[in-house]
Structure 1
Amino acid sequence: MNLLIWNCRGALSPNFRNIVDDYVQLYSPAILIVMETKVSGERAKQITDLLPFNGVICSNNIGLSGGLWILWDSTQVDISELAHTEQEIHAMVSTNAPVQNWLLTAVYASPRYAERKLL
């Protein structure tokens, strides 16, 4: 099982979807974590619906920074969200591998101290 973590620095780029498609073709990730998307809410859903993953958890960005997504291929893994904030997502990952369940935590700490200290 492959896990890909990418600090994309903005998911609104016209090339974002093509780059994700290329990464999926090259690495076949079961899980893709995208950080610093700078996109949340309905716009994040519109973008993630176009990506080649059928599971998604999105956290909201803080102003014009942050944003954290976990996307996965449900034929390879099952992910259950445990909790999330604007800076972190905690989830339980289930697979058919020898280690069947494990905890996944994705963190994108705010560059602003006032928000980061909440972690």
Structure 2
Amino acid sequence: SDVHNRDRHVLVGSRHDSNQGGGTSAIMTQLIAALTEQTKQGWVPDRTTVFCSWGGTALGNIGSYEWGKDNSVVLQSSAVAYVSLNSPVQGTETLQATASPTLLQLTSDIQRV
């Protein structure tokens, strides 16, 4: 798009100390590599992507809570979405997404394509 909203942030996060599996670290690493490769080929994202790897989740989500508290002003003014990669791989058949109603409609539309 011609209009860039780099002052708007999309956060992509997962917990790095989870024992629930799902390959969150590997998926996060591959996602970063894929986006990096796209930018090397000239793609410019419309928004700034912030990758977050949370610690202390077993102790009450300490990592994400403290980070959010420390960055609350920026989050309130700039964050437009949070994509959670917690337990990103479950089952073998269909995409199962949890999100706000608007984003759930988007995932439903994407699956029909």
TM-score, length basis structure 2: 0.31
TM-score, length basis structure 1: 0.30
Structure with a larger share of its residues in helix? 2
For the pair shown, the structure with the greater C-alpha radius of gyration is: 2
Higher relative contact order at CA 8 Å, sep ≥6: structure 1 or structure 2?
2
